[in-house]
Structure 1
Amino acid sequence: MILTILNLNLKFQEMKNLIYHTLSISFFCLFLLPALSIAQGVTTGSMSGLVKDDLGEPLPGATIQAIHTPSGTQYNMVTQQNGRYTISGMRTGGPYEVTVSFIGFEPRVFKNISLRLGQRYVLNVDMDEEGIELEGVLIEGRKDPLLNDEKTGASTTINREAITTMPTLSRSVQDFTRLTPQSSGESFAGQDPKAINFSLDGSVFNNSFGLTGSIPGAPTESTPISLEAIEEIQVNIAPYDVTQGGFTGAAINAITRSGDNEFRGSAFINNRNQRLVGTNARGSEVVTEDFNVQQYGFRLGGPIIKNKLFFFVSGESERRSDPNSPFVAAAPGRTGANVTRVQQSDMDQMRGFLIDNFGYDPGAYEDYNLPTISDKFLLKLDYNINDNHKLSARFNTLLSSRDRPVARTSLGFGGRNQNLFSLNFQNSNYLLNDDIYSGIVELQSNFGGKFSNELRFGLTSNRNSRTWGGGDFPMVDILEGGRNYMSFGTDLLSPNRGLDSDTWQFQNNFTAYLNNHTITAGVNFEYFNFRYTFTPTYFGHYVYNSLDDFYRDVAGEEVELRRFQRQFSALPDGSVPTAVTQAYIASAYVQDEINVTDNLKVTLGLRLDVPFYGQTAERNLQVENLNFQKPNGEPISIRTDRLPEPQFMWSPRFGFNWDVLGDRSFQVRGGSGLFSGRPIYVNISNMVNTNGVLQGQIREDNTTNFPFNPDVNAYIPSNGGAPETYDLAYIDPGFRNPQVWRTNIGIDKELFGGIIGTFEGIYSQQVSDLLFYDSNLRPSSRNLAGPDNRPLYGFGDEENRLNQNITNAVVLDNTNQGYAYSLTFQLQKNFYNGLHAMAAYNYAVAKNMVDGNTQHFLSYENIAAVRGSNYPDLGFSLDDQRHRLISSMGYRKEYKDKFASSISIFYELRNQGVASYVYNTDINGDLIVGNDLLFVPTASQLAEMQFEPLTINGSTFSASDQRAAFNQFIEQDPHLSTRRGMYAVRNGVQFPVVGRLDLSFMQEFFVNINGKRNTLQVRADIFNFTNMINNNWGVGQIITNETPIGIVNIDPVTNVPTYQLNPSSQTLELESFTRTANIGDVWQMQLGLRYIFN
């Protein structure tokens, strides 16, 4: 099997090395085959306990029979010599009926037991001799499921009831994982959103390549699987169970529903549009363009053979039409927070000019919609082979497409997507197609009560491509004041772009239960194959300093472009280059769960992950004769065909759970250990794709050599073959996958009235995180004069490059700098009258060197720094969620078996984001705009700064006017006012908190058909519900201007800069934050109708 998977077209020596590494790992794993275990993603529940006789002594040999009553699925077990038993691999949910029997003792029967995903239900039984009259069948009750001996680190379980009732508009998993206090959107524990491991029925179901969100379907903003199909979700942030790996943020495990002995089904339709949206955000009118979202779907499950073979099928479709952007061009009579600085007359004139002169229609620039089509389907079969062996198979698919806005990156010019400063035309957007096919087979087996086995094999395939309107045309960015003003042409990153990815996974599990020890060991093998075509700037990219420059250039005048760049094929036949990346992770682990005493469990484990790569990159001999260097000046050599070598990622872990009082009312738990994740594989593919062999690159700044040409093939070198200049992306040979050391301490206590109080403390230290630098950047030789004395570079390509034929040589390396911690306080209670409630507050800090959302290898240039992107400082993470308060509540009431009412609410109060204050110009001469952190002068330093007079709409502001305004801005800003005499901190600006409450209300009407209850359900989901009550509530704020100041020039002799304010309005009045007035700041409602039959 290994040789089949490794069917690669490699040179003999490379093949030999690859087979050697693989076989070495495999033979290591084979020694563990007597006790193999997997569970990258948990898919089942379990049950354990201690059986004692009438004298209180352990009772060995007692029979435990657990029956999942809806399906008739049976699990049988016999207690060990110490009277203990464990049943693993059980279906979640219930109810279960459990019978405990032994010769000479009265059988004990327990009903209404339910199991939760990844948790162990503890059922201890005291037996009585025959002839003693018992109470008969017992309705089993136990302490809250939060208080169980399986829990060590922070985790959240979302059951089917919550999935069914919680407010949701998108029907996405993220609407439910927000119940995790340590989450922030898709980020967990302060880590990058792509640092999670999302598993579906135990199979890897991530967006592993990492171009967009962490979960498949993100490119088209589609949910990859219908909520109809999900049974339960579990979020684990610090599971000290070494069978869980592949993440540094969180492991999110979702399992799908199964059929049982009854035919059960449901069909629904949901709808929302602009008429179900509020119009007032704190007194500001919110005008929502016409949009429509319609969701409809079904589910059906039942028996094929009663008690033996079951099926479950679900389907869901979504049709959406969303407005492109709330921002509009400035025109007479237009007012509001969504009116940009871009003049309507400029946009109209440009569209007409392009049509008349080039026959190219760039499309509309406002008042148009983005359509989305999403269809998903799932089929699952469950087969009870016998009482000891259970087989399940699942197949699901997603077919989706969405019109998406033009790529926002502008390589340092402020972002070309719609914002207060810039607008683009519609045909710069693109249609993205994203299809997913996934399947998995799982076999669960039990052997004599002492051993259990789990075998799993899965494949997930993703097919991604792009198209666009208007025909092929170069991308043109037009600047005004140093930042984007207008953009048109084919999206810079879309020509030829496509991605085919396949993820293969094999797992096997064998667990031994040996009295007080549960021995687990295992292997996991993952194979990723990516075929990625990425040719940015393939149609050419022209950047002009003004509209007038563009018009003069087309008229034939000599104009200096701010930048020209394009890539082209360097292959001999001129074909479009495609990068093939093959990645492997072989994992092995061993663990011992020790019941030290009846109230203390300790877990000791060791996990080994070995990532390695197929050597599919091309060799560029020219590069090996060039000199490159690290930021510290240390020389390095580059081999473009050598991807990182295999690294042994050891992850020791220790966990414990102490039932302090022995009655499971007060537990202390926690642990410490290493967690290894996967890289964002697009960063690996960058090296395969960007080596000077597949593609060439032309880029010149401040040049007159490239007059505008609408031909997308213009300026391609006529000689073909190896390009004269090109980019390089390289990975350090010793590069290690992301890894953190995480320590967790938790206390759960049953308080008054059955309330469960929890304290959770988590600290994560980076062991290996991502770091980027340009090894072709010439070191600085001088400094800026004045209080801001940062290093200065050459202000030109020749002055900045070590090798003139290399534009950039970006290296991916590691750093151990960075940490995150959080403190969580939580209260929750399940009442007996249908009410349940939870509230939690989380305080967190997260710092890193580089935000992991970097995708394109040049995206590192956007890292805000003082000394340039090669020298990032420890700053706050983009996912630094400082304050977060959440609460949820649900209540359901039935009325005389005729109808029922349900209400569910979710409230969240949090900081809405972070930002960095930077200069609006290139202050350090590295030719990158928007990445230089602001120096915050003291009052005396400000008096020394030179300012150029500023004219706005005919009003001129002197140097003293600007100094006074800048000083006032610093004083009123929460971040800058604490940094006087120092530099602003990356992502140091915390947006103000905003509180929003989401509500779901359901009214159910019951009808008995053939003696069974059928239900007609009417539902309303309202996000930001409190804004419906008071338009001042639920309204957010964003930063007004991240670039409040820039430089006009730097004296070439003295290095003294001359500054000028960059106000975002027509006056010098600067404020840090502006109230937003868009669809997220007002209430939104979705109405639904559902029919349920049993």
Structure 2
Amino acid sequence: MFQKRLLSTIATLSLLMSASAISVRAQSVTTGAIAGTVTDNNGNPVESAQIQVRNGRTGTTAGALSRSTGQYSVQGMEPDDQYSITVRRIGFQPITRNNLRVALGQTDREDFQLSPQTNLLSAVKVTGEADAVINPTKTGTGTQFNDSALHRLPTLNRNFSDFVTLVPQVSSNTAGLSGGGVNIRQNAVQIDGAAAGDLFGLGTTGQPGSQANAKSIPLDAVKEYQVLLSPFDVRQGNFGGLLINAVTKSGTNEFHGSAYGYERGQNLTRKQTYLREFYQRNYGFAFGGPIIKNRLFFFVNPEWQKYHTPTSGPFTGQPACAAGGTSTDCLYIAQSSIDAVSNILSTKFGFNGAGTGAKILQSNPLTNVFARIDAYLPFSTRAILRHNYATADLTNFGRSFNTSASPVFNLTSNQYQFSSKTNSSVAEFFTNLPRGVYNELSVNFTNTHDFRTVGVNFPQLDIKGIPRTDVTTPATIRLGTENSSQGNTLDQRTLEVTENLTLPIGSHNITVGAKNLTYKFINLFGQNRLGYWFFNSIDSLNGTCATCGGQSLASEYRTSAPSALDPAKGLATARSHLYSFYAQDLWTVTPRFTFAYGVRVDKPKFLDKPPFNQSVYDVYGRSTGNVPSHALVSPRFGFNWDATGDQRNQFRGGLGYFTGVPPFVYLSNAFGNSGLSGYAALTCANTTNATHTPAFNADNIATPPTACADFTSGGVTTKGATTALSSSINTIDPKFRFPQYQKWNAAYDHRFPSGLVSTIEGLYTRAIANPFYSNLALAGIQAAGAHGRVLYGTQTASGASPVFKGNRTTVLDVSDTHGDYTYSITGQLQKTFFDRFQSSLSYTFSHSKDIATITSSTAGSNFRFQRDVSGSLDDRTLTKSKNDFPHKIVATGSWHFHTLTDVSFIYTGNSGSPYDYVVGTGTGTGSGDLNGDGQTANDLIYVPIDAHDPNEILFTGFNGNAAAQASAAAQADAFEKFIKQTPCLRNHRGVIMSRNACRNPWQNDVDVSVAQSLRGFGKQNLQLRLDVLNFGNLVNRKWGEQLFSNQGSTCGANCSATILVTQTGNKLGSSPQQAVPIVTFDTNLRRFSGLNASSNYRMQLSLRYSF
């Protein structure tokens, strides 16, 4: 099927090649170009001058003739810094320029003035100087990283995308990288012009297998890359945030290569409990050269990683956490609690695989193999054939520290391994056709397989109410097969065919092109397939609680099962096309002013649709069979003005629309959760007569029940809800469009006589269409609660009870919203001293506001964590985004000394990430859900005017015995003190705090690398290198500390919320809807924690031999 589509697409696109024209000027998105004007001494254009460009590394040449206007262009040049160009014309003295650099995606401007040849003279030789900033084709916002920067600047992960954080307009938070404030999953990666991203969108780096820390290609295979935020070239598409556009290395006429090893471990970092037995080694080699000189070249680069480290959190064998203590190097639950749980499961249910509280070593081996062949074919064609193979395996496991308000202690049975394997093959052809026509054809096929491996097959159990040794707030023991790994595989296949044709008409240079992205995914996501059981205490598990009746009593049960009507047995499968067509004109209005304008159209077409569920449509008015189909038009305009004509003062800018591709996981939810396909979910939590939890016994462990328990009252039996009747549904709004953004850019660049280049640049991004999640099952607003909180349910003594329409609790719909915006103003200085010193300094001021910040990969988490709320769930008011980082400073420098010593550094300083405080859940039904929407840990906290006022807030134990009341009073005292010490809380007294009102402290980070080379025979070189990340912490342990609020225990990287208190119930009073929440506050809670690897210096040693 894929082969048929390939042939059909190529045949269709080849029709574009029937056009004819003369010369070319525009650069390619995967190569570079050299262009300029040839004149005589009087400034008159010289026609038919011969221009020959030679690559000194490969010996290959390309040529062109100047037109009647004197203009010329040489297209399709592989990025390199060893080009020479010679201009000849009968009657004129030849001129040669050497050491020219052609940068990726840029056109190097080289103008020539020829002198009459009155005597036989040798060619005049000039050394050229290229500039990636002062450049006639540069219009939008972007940053270039050349080979020198990639191999001199410090890095530990050896991932080519590590340096993206150095781009002034890019912000980094716990979820990933945001380009101009845009959703992290709107980034794209392309290598040699071919898409190399994670279209399904489970990870956060944009690279396939990123959930296992996979790398697309080895760092040594990357020649250079761009990070583009607003390229007004219409050939660049399928992204809304940032585009990483990389090119790989190739062989040359000389054999060259290297062998290297990088190593770091616990002895090369500050001593920390959680870094014991830490070890990482990366090693590999690169080798390239000629197969046939000047014609055929090869390059290969395999690389491997060995890695292991203890997973985060406490483990048995550590000392017990002391009451009132501040140490995190301790165990907060007793071994006897772990033993009791294990013994109950063993003796009562015959399960001996609960695991222990021992520490787990996390392993993360990686393998990358990159191979490339370059062939210079007849008919002025250059071909590239390359293949990339990447695998990654990652052990996933962790436990909460005692700093968490509701810590979870996982037993070892809860670990799993995430594995990913990617194969990607690309063929590209660059052809200079007769009369100057330039053509590019690219074919890319990628196959990625992700899967999980578990150690046991047993339902996941959460046993709450575990006594702690340090505070009264209980902990939770978790064991069994991790609930999202009970059935989880993903296969992705991508076929991408791109055709670009460039031709000139006078001073206009026209580019037309098309791209067809064919995508197929097969996804199995049987979350809770083996069951997920909750117990309020060890006694509840044992059947010895007061209401147990001698049987194990679960407070909640969750499961999922394939729909009986689904022939695919739970597999979600979809095929789609994304057709892109575009045309643009690069108009050289004058030699000093260029204007680019064009339009791009992106049209999705799904070959499969989710099945239509009539019952969902009848109750909720939404078809489950909707898929996006709207064509999106993206016009773009860009300009570049050399104001003084000497390439020293440049004004540039533009306006354009950019259409991204939504993570297909957003759309796969609809394929897998229609009620007729995929896995249907069920929750039994004793909230209604139809949702009582089934019995936890050996039979229900072996065969997870797909229905809640029947309930009999007054002689009337209510049948339990089933997966078929109450499963979660995902739908897509029929008006839903692919994400689209409008971007404005304006900049002024100035090059001083010393070569220092200064830039001031503004970038504005506005969302035209952004995803937004709603729950159609909610019956709507029910009442106004205390302090103005909007209620979607009723208040009970234990918490809130949502009010639903129909028999379903979850019908999650993804639709569009618009209006999100980000603006940034950047000042930057850059200086290159060719062989000794390179440096840059930038400062960026920015602000970002949005309606919701979506960072998760599942519909449920996106609805729950897209924003923390207190008002209407349909409110589209703009508030501070999770991607709001007002200030950012970046400085880099690299020195090369005569002693063959290289010293490089990176300094980044930025505002801390924003966050807010929410209420966590206790053991009661509906606790932690203040607004009754069925979601917990996302309701913004009301900040009392006085924490001692019982009409505003109550603390657990307020109505108990003397000891309990003393505990409540101590909590109130500590909470009042915490409010006074926390500005964002202090400023919200008497109201519900606003979203993302708080901010983590300013972050400073200095990274340094020192390399010493030993020159051998010929071009042989041996280099020893030391990289130090967080160098300040090496000098002083108090420097470089990275402080964060405890968001990780709330939602991982999915939100910006920190649990401040946990709700244990309500005091209803005369008006239940005005209930006063009863909460527990950890009197030892600290605002920020530096308990992370980034707070400590980390060093890496490496050895490299090259020739």
Do Structure 1 and Structure 2 share a fold, with TM-score over 0.5? Answer: yes
Change (3 A) 1:333 1:1045: closer
2:630 is aligned to: 647
Instruction: Pick one of 1073, 1090, 1094 that aligns with 2:1104.
Output: 1090
Greater shift, 26-35 or 417-426, is seen at: 26-35
Q: CA deviation at 1:446?
A: 1.1
Instruction: Pick one of 591, 596, 605 that aligns with 1:598.
Output: 591
Q: CA deviation at 1:730?
A: 0.4
1:502 is aligned to: 493
Letter paired with 1:642: N
**Alignment partners' CA distance in 1, 2:121 and 2:803:** 87
Change (3 A) 1:138 1:990: farther
**Alignment partners' CA distance in 1, 2:257 and 2:511:** 38
Contact 2:54 2:85 in 1 (8 A): yes
Change (3 A) 1:766 1:720: closer
Instruction: Pick one of 273, 277, 280 that aligns with 1:290.
Output: 277
Q: CA deviation at 1:712?
A: 4.5
Matches within 5 A, 1:387-398: 388-398=380-390
Contact 1:340 1:421 in 2 (8 A): no
Q: CA deviation at 1:360?
A: 3.1
Q: CA deviation at 1:515?
A: 3.3
2:152 is aligned to: 165
1:1058 is aligned to: 1076
Change (3 A) 1:617 1:658: same
- The residue matched to 1:861 in structure 2 has which SS? helix
Q: CA deviation at 1:277?
A: 1.0
**Alignment partners' CA distance in 1, 2:442 and 2:13:** 20
Matches within 5 A, 1:721-800: 723-751=724-752, 753-785=754-786, 787-794=787-794, 800=802
**Alignment partners' CA distance in 1, 2:19 and 2:854:** 39
Q: CA deviation at 1:736?
A: 0.2
**Alignment partners' CA distance in 2, 1:909 and 1:662:** 37
Letter paired with 1:805: N
Contact 2:379 2:433 in 1 (8 A): no
Matches within 5 A, 1:199-238: 199-213=190-204, 214-238=206-230
2:506 is aligned to: 515
Letter paired with 1:819: Y
Q: CA deviation at 1:984?
A: 2.1
Change (3 A) 1:742 1:483: farther
2:882 is aligned to: 878
Determine if the alignment matches structure 1 residue 609 to structure 2 residue 612: no
Letter paired with 1:716: T
Contact 1:868 1:924 in 2 (8 A): no
- The residue matched to 1:693 in structure 2 has which SS? coil
Contact 1:769 1:814 in 2 (8 A): yes
1:1076 is aligned to: 1090
**Alignment partners' CA distance in 2, 1:600 and 1:668:** 10
Identical aligned residues as a percent = 27
Q: CA deviation at 1:681?
A: 0.3
1:662 is aligned to: 645
**Alignment partners' CA distance in 1, 2:200 and 2:757:** 40
- The residue matched to 1:807 in structure 2 has which SS? coil
Change (3 A) 1:854 1:1005: same
Q: CA deviation at 1:643?
A: 2.1
Greater shift, 658-667 or 937-946, is seen at: 937-946
Change (3 A) 1:819 1:983: farther
1:708 is aligned to: 696
Instruction: State the Cα deviation string for residues 904-946 of structure 1 (Å, max 9, x = none).
Output: 1111112343322112222122232111112334469968514
Determine if the alignment matches structure 1 residue 677 to structure 2 residue 660: yes
- The residue matched to 2:1041 in structure 1 has which SS? coil
1:486 is aligned to: 477
- The residue matched to 1:243 in structure 2 has which SS? coil
Instruction: Pick one of 964, 970, 981 that aligns with 1:972.
Output: 981
- The residue matched to 1:622 in structure 2 has which SS? helix
Q: CA deviation at 1:133?
A: 7.4
1:546 is aligned to: 537
Instruction: Pick one of 888, 898, 902 that aligns with 1:894.
Output: 898
Contact 2:820 2:851 in 1 (8 A): yes
2:117 is aligned to: 130
**Alignment partners' CA distance in 2, 1:420 and 1:774:** 27
1:18 is aligned to: none
**Alignment partners' CA distance in 2, 1:392 and 1:575:** 40
Contact 2:519 2:577 in 1 (8 A): yes
Q: CA deviation at 1:226?
A: 0.6
1:910 is aligned to: 910
Contact 1:836 1:889 in 2 (8 A): yes
Contact 1:912 1:1036 in 2 (8 A): no
Letter paired with 2:704: A
Determine if the alignment matches structure 1 residue 584 to structure 2 residue 574: no
Determine if the alignment matches structure 1 residue 1002 to structure 2 residue 1011: yes
Contact 2:975 2:1083 in 1 (8 A): no
Q: TM-score, normalised by structure 1?
A: 0.90
Greater shift, 231-240 or 903-912, is seen at: 903-912
Instruction: Pick one of 188, 191, 194 that aligns with 2:179.
Output: 188
2:1066 is aligned to: 1049
Contact 1:41 1:202 in 2 (8 A): no
Letter paired with 2:357: Y
**Alignment partners' CA distance in 2, 1:269 and 1:1046:** 49
Greater shift, 1050-1059 or 269-278, is seen at: 1050-1059
Letter paired with 2:1039: W
- The residue matched to 1:1074 in structure 2 has which SS? coil
Contact 1:1016 1:1089 in 2 (8 A): yes
1:14 is aligned to: none
**Alignment partners' CA distance in 1, 2:239 and 2:199:** 11
Contact 1:618 1:693 in 2 (8 A): yes
Q: CA deviation at 1:1033?
A: 0.7
1:5 is aligned to: 5
**Alignment partners' CA distance in 2, 1:1046 and 1:872:** 28
Change (3 A) 1:496 1:443: same
- The residue matched to 1:724 in structure 2 has which SS? helix
Q: CA deviation at 1:843?
A: 2.1
Matches within 5 A, 1:795-810: 800=802, 802-810=804-812
Letter paired with 1:972: Q
Contact 1:416 1:477 in 2 (8 A): no
Contact 1:321 1:372 in 2 (8 A): yes
Contact 1:416 1:486 in 2 (8 A): no
Instruction: Pick one of 1036, 1043, 1046 that aligns with 2:1042.
Output: 1036
- The residue matched to 1:548 in structure 2 has which SS? helix
Instruction: State the Cα deviation string for residues 437-484 of structure 1 (Å, max 9, x = none).
Output: 001111101124532000111111101111111333344353679996
1:461 is aligned to: 447
2:923 is aligned to: none
Q: CA deviation at 1:26?
A: 11
Letter paired with 2:1040: G
5+ residue gaps in structure 2? Answer: 467-471, 709-719, 921-927, 1048-1057
1:12 is aligned to: none
Instruction: State the Cα deviation string for residues 501-557 of structure 1 (Å, max 9, x = none).
Output: 011101111101233211112111101100000111111111223343333379764
Letter paired with 1:405: F
Alignment: residue pair count: 1045
Change (3 A) 1:348 1:663: farther
Contact 1:946 1:1057 in 2 (8 A): no
- The residue matched to 1:163 in structure 2 has which SS? helix
Q: CA deviation at 1:844?
A: 2.1
**Alignment partners' CA distance in 1, 2:127 and 2:870:** 63
Instruction: Pick one of 361, 374, 392 that aligns with 1:382.
Output: 374
1:528 is aligned to: 519
Instruction: Pick one of 988, 1009, 1024 that aligns with 1:1018.
Output: 1024
- The residue matched to 2:364 in structure 1 has which SS? strand
1:11 is aligned to: none
- The residue matched to 2:252 in structure 1 has which SS? coil
Q: TM-score, normalised by structure 2?
A: 0.89
Letter paired with 2:891: S
Contact 2:237 2:660 in 1 (8 A): yes
Letter paired with 1:767: I
Q: CA deviation at 1:38?
A: 15
Letter paired with 1:300: F
